[in-house]
Amino acid sequence: MDARNRGAPTSRLLRFMPHQFLRFANRSTGKLGYERLRAALDRLQSTTIQTNIRSVDPDTTPSRKAKRLHRFSWINEWSELTIAGGYTRGMEIVLPDWFYQGVINENLVLAIDPAYFALTGGIERWLYRLARKHGGRSKNGWGFSFKVLYEKSGSLSRFSDFSFDLRHVARKQSLPGYHLSLSFNRKGKECLQIRWLP
């Protein structure tokens, strides 16, 4: 996206130094960090996604809408160049065309604060992504009842445990760029208010 915004050429092929990526993602740059990165790339390549998002079929008329399912993996392939002694000289990833077009042509990307990668709790990371998706940088903020958040999260924990975790995250104020507060709506249901901090 940075290259696109600067008018530079873009490609489905991404080249990077794993050490720089691991440092940016706040991960270990030791042997274990590299092993985990390779395992993550394997998972991304082997995971198959099925979606009908952006499924407009140009061959159909408005009165006869068609539904198109699309299946892809998060990455088509990846490779790593190593030299004697097992030192990595770089990695390459090839993105699927459907994913690449969504990023480049339709701006389906939200910027993430680098501090996001320092979040250790799964609920914190999920809340941050929810905040970026729903409100982005709304100065007025927005709120969700705990019940709605619980349903959106797909959490397998009990509702009472999920609610306890939400209160804990609100007390910690750990989401980068956002302020969290607790309130009650008109029906007496507990809510989480999320407000962007400019």
pLDDT, one tens digit per residue, over 179-191 is 999 999 888 899 9
Mean pLDDT of 140-158: 90
Single residue among 64, 80, 106 that ends a domain in this structure: 106
Q: Are residues 60 and 92 in the same domain?
A: yes
Comparing 62 with 172, the larger pLDDT belongs to 172
Single residue among 78, 106, 134 that ends a domain in this structure: 106
For residue range 63-97, list pLDDT tens digits in order.
Answer: 556 777 778 888 999 999 988 887 888 999 999 98
Q: What is the mean pLDDT of the chain?
A: 86
Spatial distance between the Cα atoms of 142 and 129, rounded to a whole number of angstroms: 14
CATH assignment at residue 160: 1.10.10
Cβ pair 88, 21 in contact under 8 A: no
* Residue 77 three-state SS: strand
Q: Is the pLDDT of residue 4 over 90?
A: no
Q: Is the pLDDT of residue 145 over 80?
A: yes
Looking at the 3D structure of the chain, how many domains does it have? Answer: 2
Q: Are residues 71 and 126 in the same domain?
A: no
Spatial distance between the Cα atoms of 196 and 179, rounded to a whole number of angstroms: 6
Q: Are residues 92 and 140 in the same domain?
A: no
For residue range 29-63, list pLDDT tens digits in order.
Answer: 999 999 999 999 999 999 988 877 655 555 555 55
Q: Are residues 69 and 162 in the same domain?
A: no
Taking alpha carbons only, the member of 146, 176, 142 closest to residue 161 is: 146
Q: Are residues 14 and 102 in the same domain?
A: yes
Q: Are residues 64 and 129 in the same domain?
A: no
Q: Are residues 125 and 192 in the same domain?
A: yes
Q: Is the dihedral of CA 111, 116, 122, 127 positive or negative?
A: negative
Q: Is the pLDDT of residue 107 over 70?
A: no
Least reliable range by pLDDT among 50-64, 110-124, 127-141, 181-195: 50-64
Single residue among 77, 106, 135 that ends a domain in this structure: 106
Spatial distance between the Cα atoms of 11 and 20, rounded to a whole number of angstroms: 20
Q: Could you list the residue range(s) of the whole structural domain that residue 130 is in?
A: 114-196
Any bridge partners for residue 71, and if so which?
50
Any bridge partners for residue 48, and if so which?
73
Spatial distance between the Cα atoms of 98 and 150, rounded to a whole number of angstroms: 31
Q: What is the 3-state secondary structure (H, E, C) of 3-27?
A: HHHHCCCCCCEEEECHHHHHHHCCC
Q: Are residues 39 and 20 in the same domain?
A: yes
Q: Are residues 14 and 48 in the same domain?
A: yes
Q: Is the pLDDT of residue 173 over 70?
A: yes
Q: Are residues 128 and 164 in the same domain?
A: yes
Q: Are residues 12 and 84 in the same domain?
A: yes
Q: Are residues 62 and 18 in the same domain?
A: yes
Q: Does the reported pTM lie above 0.75?
A: no
194: buried, middle or exposed (CB in 10 Å: 19+, 13-18, 0-12)? Answer: buried
Cβ pair 79, 72 in contact under 8 A: no
Helices 122-134, 146-153: inter-axial angle, 10-degree rounding: 100
